[in-house]
Amino acid sequence: MDTTELTSPARPECDLSIVVPLYNEEESLPELMAWIDKVLTGRKYEVVFVDDGSTDGSWQAVQGLKQQFPDHVRGISFARNQGKSAALHSGFKVVRGKVVITMDADLQDSPDEVPELERKVVEEGFDVVSGWKKKRHDPITKTVPTKLYNWATRRVSGIHLHDFNCGLKAYRREVVQAVEVNGEMHRYIPVLAKQAGFSKIGEQVVQHQARKYGTTKFGLERFVNGFLDLLTIAFIGRFGHKPMHLFGVLGTLMFLGGFGLFAGIGGYKLWAMYEGASARNIADISAFHIALAFMVMGLQLFLAGFVAELITRNAPSRNVYLLKDQI
């Protein structure tokens, strides 16, 4: 077995793929799979369990489910914990369904929602349908910052979703093949989809349960990381292909500001000398140091822009565009 290559057995595509990222969720898995199978009896579907380096018996549980549901269960197991985004990314690489649904493993998301989510993609033509946990069963330390986070994401992205980070979402397969989910970007897949060119993004109110087994895998640092990622995504969306348009402008303004100040001080010195006054040494004037700092920082920003341009010009995705049509 190649230990990094993901494989997808050559079988005809199916209607529906459910991708379940999981990290130490052994108790939930049998119940989750039984529930999914009950909802989808008789359908052509697959569930791709991505074991994100669990240290409990989760992978054994997935292997057991493979025995029990050989036609429907597939699994990937990471050698170590890589994060939910990495797990989703790898699941997305191997899916064969026309519609792809993501769902958390902890039974907080209800498989009963799957048919309606799928219908919205197939019949109403949505590219992305995000679940909206309108009535949440989570502690207040999570629900309050989440409101702020969703508001900020709406402002930055222009996408009107109430609940960006809902684990339960449905996609057209083309969407999950087009977006790169890495780092902790799983919180922003609708934003990444929009940036790639998928514009029909909707939402559906979904049931949400309290966690039945185990504990949450994300601490309070999720909010700090979430906001940093939001800044990144806003930057990439606007300047990812033309970083010089940000750094160049900032750098030039700073440099010119510094240079202007410098020229002013020089002029003042000449004038003072002409007037015969005892002009101070130019380096004794505090504005001189400010001018110098502005010029140096301006130059550095400018150079950062150049380096960023060189990097984006060599990025493998630099000229990949989503097409609407071709005749």
The residues of the shown chain that bind Mg ion, judged by CB under 5 A, are 104, 106, 108
Residues 58/25, Cβ–Cβ less than 8 Å: yes
Minimum gap (Å) between residue 138 Cβ and Mg ion: 8
Cα 34 from Cα 37, distance rounded (Å): 5
For residue 84, the partner it binds in ligand UDP, Mg ion, none, with Cβ less than 5 to 8 A by kind, is ligand UDP
The residue to which tokens 């989570």 are assigned: 138
Minimum gap (Å) between residue 25 Cβ and Mg ion: 9
For residue 217, the partner it binds in Mg ion, ligand UDP, none, with Cβ less than 5 to 8 A by kind, is ligand UDP
Closest CB to ligand UDP among 81 and 150? 81
The dihedral formed by the CA atoms of 177, 180, 182 and 184, expressed in degrees to the nearest 10: -90
Minimum gap (Å) between residue 173 Cβ and ligand UDP: 21
Cα 202 from Cα 170, distance rounded (Å): 10
Minimum gap (Å) between residue 54 Cβ and ligand UDP: 8
Closest CB to Mg ion among 46 and 106? 106
For residue 87, the partner it binds in Mg ion, ligand UDP, none, with Cβ less than 5 to 8 A by kind, is ligand UDP
List residues near ligand UDP by CB under 6 A: 21-23, 25, 52, 81, 83-84, 87, 104-106, 108, 167, 216-218
For residue 23, the partner it binds in ligand UDP, Mg ion, none, with Cβ less than 5 to 8 A by kind, is ligand UDP
Minimum gap (Å) between residue 186 Cβ and ligand UDP: 8
Minimum gap (Å) between residue 186 Cβ and Mg ion: 13
Bridge partners of 128? 171, 201
Minimum gap (Å) between residue 306 Cβ and ligand UDP: 37
For β-strands 97-102 and 73-77, DSSP reports them as unpaired
Closest CB to ligand UDP among 133 and 247? 133
Closest CB to Mg ion among 23 and 262? 23
The residue type found at 51 is: D
Closest CB to ligand UDP among 192 and 308? 192
Closest CB to ligand UDP among 52 and 127? 52
For residue 218, the partner it binds in Mg ion, ligand UDP, none, with Cβ less than 5 to 8 A by kind, is ligand UDP
For β-strands 97-102 and 169-172, DSSP reports them as antiparallel
For residue 181, the partner it binds in Mg ion, ligand UDP, none, with Cβ less than 5 to 8 A by kind, is none
Closest CB to ligand UDP among 51 and 305? 51
For residue 251, the partner it binds in Mg ion, ligand UDP, none, with Cβ less than 5 to 8 A by kind, is none
